[in-house]
Amino acid sequence: MQDRQKNIRNFCIVAHIDHGKSTLADRLIEKTGTVSKRDMSDQLLDSMELEKERGITIKLTPTRMFYTYDGQEYILNLIDTPGHVDFTYEVSRSLLACEGAILIVDATQGVEAQTLANAYLAIDNNLEILPVINKIDLPSADIPKTRSEIEDVIGIPADEAPCISAKDGINIDEVLEQIIKNVPHPNGDESAPLKALIFDSYYDNFKGAVCFVRIFDGKCKAGDKIRMMQTGKEYEVTEVGTFTPSMKPLNELFAGDVGYICASIKNLTDTKVGDTITNADNPTAEKLPGYKEVQPVVFSGIFLSDGSKYGDLKDALEKLKLNDASLVFMPESSKALGFGFRCGFLGLLHMDIITERLEREFNLDIITTAPSVSYNVYKTNGQMLEVSNPSLLPPTVEIDRIEEPIVKLHVFTPPEYVGAVMELCQEKRGIYIDLQYLDKQRVRLDYTIPLGEIIYDFFDSLKSRTKGYASLDYEMNGFMPSELVRLDILLNGETCDALSLITHKDKAYERGRAIAEKLKKVIPRQLFEVPIQACVGGKIIARETISAMRKDVLAKCYGGDITRKRKLLEKQKEGKKRMRKIGSIELPSEAFMSILRTNDDNDE
C-alpha cells in the first residue's frame, strides 16, 4: 500500500506578494482539468470577495489535482498561501503539511524581501524548493539576472527553473513535471495509528468545524472515533474528503493525503491549528510538533458610529473569529466612543481586512482608533502590565520603565535608494545592523526598529521614497526599554481618550502638532470656537483653533414647499447622528483614524 503514496505530491506555492502565486495556482488547476474552463474564474482560490478585489490571498485553500505523467496518474495536492508579511504564519502552517514548495520569482523584479523570507521558511522546514521564474511575457523580464539572483541571494540552484508566464499559460507543464520529478512523495505508515496535522480549520454552519488535515500516518474514515491530542476531546467522524477545490467527500483518507475531517465539532476553538488528530481507540504515542501560537502585534479600538448596536459588533467579531483564530478582541469602553472592543491583529493589512469585512459583510458603520502596539509597562511596585490602549497607561509616577516591541527589519532596495532608506530607518528610531550588496541591482539592509514605528506609516513612506522599488520583511525581536510618553488631545479643553496615543518622547512635539493640524482640517466648524490642544504630561505642546461656523443653508422655501425644507433638515439631522459627541463638540468618525495619516499630507 505504500506504493499509493509514490503517486502523491504535496506542495505549496510561496512568493513575494504580487509575484503571481494565485495566477499560477489557477493555471495548474486549469491544466490538470480539476475545474472545467467553464467554471474557472480568475484567482479561483481567493474565494472571498475582498481577496479577489485586492488581488491578495488571505486564507489558504488546498486543492487536489490529477495529472498523468509517463503513463502514470499522480495526485497533486496544492496548498495556496498568502504572501503578505502579516500572514507569514499562514505560510509556515501550510509548509508543515507539504514536502515541496514552488518558489515563484517575478522575472521583472527579481528576489524580494518576502521571496527570501519564504524561501528560508521552506528551507527551515526541510522542503524541496522548486524555483520558478514567472512573468516572462513582460518586456522588462530579465531571465538570466533573475536566475543568478536566485542562486546568489537565496543560494539554491536555478539552472533548471522553469521560465513561465502564469498569465499566458506558458510552460505550465514543465512546472507540473518538475513537481512530480523533484518533490519527494510522502512516506507515511498506513498501518500505524492515525497521525494527522490540523493545518487550518473553518466553521461551516451545517457541518460544524471543518479540520483541514495532512495525514502523516494511518487512515481515517466516517465512523472512526478521533481524539484531539492537545485538548483531549474526542469525536466521531461524520465525513472525510478532499478539496476539488470545493469539498468533496471520500470514503477514506490515507497516509500522505491532504483533506478534511468533520466530526460535528461545535466549537472552532476545539480544532486548534497545529494540533494532532489521532484515533481514540488506537492512539499514536507522540504528537506532531505543531506550530507556535500566533500573537497579535497591532491593536486598535473598534467602535460603532451608532453606539446602540454594540451587540451587533460583538456578534460580527465572534463570527469572524470563527474562521480567523488570529483575531483577538476584548471589551473596551471609551468616554468618547462608548462601548467597543480592543482588537488585536497580525498587522495593518490584517486590521484593514477585518475592519473592511465588518463594514461590508456585516453592514456596520465602525470607527477605529489609531493602531497601537502592546507595551510592557513595569510599575514601581514591581508589577508588569501589557498596555495596548494608550488611555490605560498608568500615571507617570507609577511607571518605572516602559519597554516596546522591537522587530528585525529587512529592506531590499536598489542601491540608489540606500540613502533614502537609511534616512527613513533613522527617523523611525532604527538601529543599523548590516548592509549587504546582493548583486549590482539589489541591496539588503538590516535594522532593528520599534514595531510601533513600522505600524505608523513606515510602509507608505518606504514605498514613496523608493518609488515603490523597495520591499520589506520583519520578524519580532523582543522588547527594549524606551522613553515613551502618552500624547493626549484636548478638544475645547477636554481630553478625548480615543485620540490618545503612545509615542517616543522626542517625537511627541512633532506628532502633536501634526495631529492638531490634521484635526483642524477634519473637524467641521461648530457653533463656537474650538481649541485643539496636544498635551504631554499636562503640558500643552501644540495648539490649533477651529473658528466658529458663520453660515449654513439659508434655503428659500419656494411656494410653500415646507416639505423640502424639512427633508433638508432631516438629512442634516441624519448626518449629525453619524457624528460623535465629545463634550459639546461634534466629531466625524474619520477624525479618529485620520490622526494616523498625518504624515501623508506633509509629504505631498
Partner 1 sequence: MSQSENFGIYVHIPFCLSKCLYCSFISKPACENEIKHYIDFLCGEIENKNNLFVGKVCNSIYFGGGTPSSISEKYIEKVLKTIKKHYKIVKKPEISIECNPCSVSLTKLQTYKRLGINRISFGVQSLNNKELKAIGRRHNSALAMEAILLAQEAGFENISADIMIGLPFQTKSSLCKTINKLVSAGVKHISAYMLILEDGTKLKQMVDCGQVKVANEDESVALYDMTYKKLKEKGFERYEISNFAIPGYECRHNVNYWEVGEYVGFGVSAHSYYGGVRYANSDNFDEYYVEKSTKEKISNRAHIEEMIMLGLRLANGVSIKKLNMCGYDILKHKRKEIDELLKLGLIAISDEYIKITPDNFGVTSAITLKLL
Interacting residue ranges for partner 1, rule: CB under 8 A:
527-528, 549-563, 565-566, 569, 572-573, 576, 584
Residue found by looking up cell 478521533 in the block: 226
Residue 603 DSSP symbol? H
Decide: helix, strand or coil at residue 107: coil
Residue 524: CB minimum distance to partner 1, A:
10
Helix 88-96, helix 113-124: angle, nearest 10: 30
Contact 54, 119 (CB under 8 A): no
Residue 590: CB minimum distance to partner 1, A:
20
CB neighbour list of residue 529: distance below 8 Å, 6 or more residues apart: 545, 546, 547, 548
Taking the least distance from each CB to partner 1, the nearer of 1 and 569 is 569
Phi and psi, residue 501, nearest 5°: -150, 160
**In 3D, which of 311, 316, 296 has the Cα closest to residue 405?**
296
Residue 488: CB minimum distance to partner 1, A:
24
Q: In what order do the strands lie in the sheet with 366-368?
A: 328-334, 338-345, 298-304, 366-368
Taking the least distance from each CB to partner 1, the nearer of 120 and 528 is 528
Say which amino acid occupies 153: V
Residue 198: CB minimum distance to partner 1, A:
56
Give the angle subtended at the CA of 105 by the CAs of 103 and 107, to the nearest 5°: 155
Beta-sheet pairing, 580-582 with 585-587: antiparallel
Residue 549: CB minimum distance to partner 1, A:
5
Taking the least distance from each CB to partner 1, the nearer of 376 and 526 is 526
Contact 204, 264 (CB under 8 A): no
Taking the least distance from each CB to partner 1, the nearer of 401 and 571 is 571
Taking the least distance from each CB to partner 1, the nearer of 1 and 557 is 557
Contact 118, 15 (CB under 8 A): yes
Taking the least distance from each CB to partner 1, the nearer of 397 and 554 is 554
Distance from C-alpha of 575 to C-alpha of 312, rounded to nearest angstrom: 21
Residue 304: CB minimum distance to partner 1, A:
22
Taking the least distance from each CB to partner 1, the nearer of 266 and 521 is 521
Q: What dihedral angle (degrees, nearest 10) is formed by the CA atoms of 69, 70, 74, 77?
A: -40
Residue found by looking up cell 522626542 in the block: 506
Residue found by looking up cell 522553469 in the block: 162
Residue 515: CB minimum distance to partner 1, A:
25
Taking the least distance from each CB to partner 1, the nearer of 236 and 529 is 529
* Residue 218, phi-psi category: left (phi > 0), alpha (psi -120 to 50), beta (remainder): left
Residue 43 buriedness (CB in 10 A; 0-12 / 13-18 / 19+): middle
Taking the least distance from each CB to partner 1, the nearer of 476 and 562 is 562
Residue 601: CB minimum distance to partner 1, A:
21
Residue 568: CB minimum distance to partner 1, A:
8
